[in-house]
Chain A
């Protein structure tokens, strides 16, 4: 009668209505949903990262499953001795014989392992300085990785894009659009040039740039509203579906129960009421 799908629907409806209840005022339903969200998110991410990255990509490269014909020297045996110890501690993450994810042994992965442990040491104030090494690596790597892409796509690509073709098979509308885009780009950039005081002709150009920025902010606001309404539609569509007989009218029952309970709660907590 109550399958996992139906139970899931009831939970989804409860959490949706609990979050919506904040629109009335801060209340225990909202707090329950908020705490569940934070806890589940943290647990989900930690678990997901361990099982999709650390276990297969790190441990899978440090201690891969050995082929039958492979023989280990003294150092190799000592290395797999560490693994056997870990295997005794937690078998699901360290299955017998090695981690089978198709990787070969790559001992250079000891470096990220050490950096990762150093990052974790930040929880101890005495050893927190160790974390700087890991952070320095992450910042340096990210900066290097992004710099080329950013220069290529956001600087060169965008400059190319603002070049207006005035000849060839191009409509008048495209040319006008291109000119407006070029004026917007130049005046917008001029507005952010602070080495010269924004007075006279330079101030006027900067002012035109402000208008372009205002139009851009207006468009952003419009899109933000559109996005939020889309998400609201998504939740209402689910509530409508879960209000059907297939789900034992979960939306209707929970809405009625929560409204009644919120009413009682509000009656006894009038002093906290906000206007």
Chain B
């Protein structure tokens, strides 16, 4: 028993770099050899899906991209999934960006879904209005008069020359908001300045780290569902029946979580044994 305790304490003090290597191996392995673990959509993901599904055909939907390359693995699959769902149901999509990087992410997602998969027409089925600096002021601008904020779109086309902008003066002319957000400014600002004051329904997809911050708005009914991090994106892909990059990453995510939980348990046991031993020494 003493030998086992010695071993646990010794392993508990192992160089942290061994832990990094183990995590790297367990994350990498399922990427090369997928395990095909099941994905069960949670209630909050189903709520997002139901909210978009309930929109009548031809609805005008604002998709705001507030993420960049650093959070792409979590948010980009959501943006792609939501775009697929919107085009599948024949909606018009207005894309705005509160983050400068968001414009490049949105362009990539639109190129993949709108152009390559659904062959939609720019200016009639979707428009990339692009990035404007100003954080909350941009949202306020979209809420009051979209043309004060955007005179041209991301391609330099005057707003009044874009067919799908006819009759769109402000956010009240749109039917739904989806914020693909990785932080500030993002979901919280859209709730506070757009969705709550105007009553336009809204859903969101956020990074894992933001879930606790945004969840109270979901519970209070201010946001219709939430896609929580990469699992949320994978669940949405499962609901759509179209697997993508989020689904392929979920095996690695699940295995890594198991290993981290085991490390936490093991670390606590080692800490407990070490403390017991030091108490006996004194």
Partner-B contacts on A (CB < 8 A): 23-24, 44-45, 48-49, 52-53, 56, 60, 101-103, 142, 145-146, 148-150, 152-154, 157-158, 160-162, 181, 216, 219-220, 223-227, 229-237, 240, 275
Instruction: Say if the beta carbon of B37 comes within 8 Å of chain A.
Output: no
Query: What residue of chain A has the Cβ atom nearest to residue B195's Cβ?
Result: A153
Task: Specify which chain A residues have a CB less than 8 angstroms from the CB of B189 in the assembled complex.
Answer: 149
Which among B133, B192, B196, B257 has the greatest number of chain A C-beta atoms within 10 A? Answer: B192
| Residues of B contacting A: mostly | helix
Measured in the bound complex, the distance between the Cα atoms of B250 and A237 in whole Å is 12
Across the interface, B260 reaches (CB within 8 A) one of A148, A149, A152, A225, namely: A225
Shortest 5 CB-CB contacts between residues of A and residues of B = A161-B220, A234-B73, A149-B192, A227-B208, A102-B151
* Interface residue stretch chosen among B24-32, B48-56, B57-65: B24-32
**With A23-B20, A153-B196, A226-B253 as contacts: A233 and B132 at CB distance below 8 Å:** no
Residues of B within 8 A of A216 (CB): 212
Which residues on B sit within 8 Å (CB–CB) of A48? 100, 131, 133
A2 to chain B, nearest CB (A): 22
Interface size on B, residues (CB 8 A): 56
Least distance between A85 CB and chain B CB atoms (Å): 26
- Pick the contact of A23: B17, B208, B222, B230 (CB < 8 A): B17
Q: Which residues of B contact A142 (CB under 8 A)?
A: 136
Secondary structure at the A interface, as helix, strand, loop or mixed, is helix
User: B221 at the A/B interface (Cβ < 8 Å)?
Assistant: yes
Query: Smallest distance from the beta carbon of B172 to chain A beta carbons, Å?
Result: 17
Q: Which residues of A contact B136 (CB under 8 A)?
A: 142, 145-146, 149
CA distance A253 to B220 in the complex (A): 52
In the complex, the answer to whether B140 meets A145 with C-beta atoms within 8 Å is yes
